[in-house]
Copies of this chain bind each other. A is one copy, B any other.
């Protein structure tokens, strides 16, 4: 298990995602890792900017959805390598895109502290990975999501 983020292993030509691509200079650069404290959990953090507002004082729901989406595809890639018994960085590279995204907003998310995303792999089947994501701020879960991700054809990755 590496402490590098899964997104650091995405091939250059699939590293421009606004949410998590290391080569998108305007983007969020979300980083998804296996959690060293909980080996079956993926984790990512993001500090929202002051303008990521919904109702003043709370985080814009579109940002919540976006981060869950990218953490879901990142978790899918991490789970894909694990399912194949190999490390990120080995060939062929694995890269997933979202087939469907569901977000339940449980309560308003306060704007300011880091946003924490924790993923649990619900299913790995063929080219599909399903990840359940818990979204929290300072230990309080404010949203829950599920991301169904499918593997890009090798020819695109």
Contacts and interface: CB of A to CB of B under 8 A. Distances in A.
Interface residues of A, number: 39
Q: How many copies, total?
A: 2
Q: Which of A16, A17, A101, A104 has the most CB of B within 10 A?
A: A101
Contacts of A105: 97-101
A113 interface: no
Contacts of A100: 102-105
A137 interface: no
A42 B123 CA distance: 37
B55 A65 contact: no
Contacts of A119: none
A17 B111 CA distance: 12
Interface stretch (A18-26, A31-39, A83-91, A127-135): A18-26
A61 B62 CA distance: 11
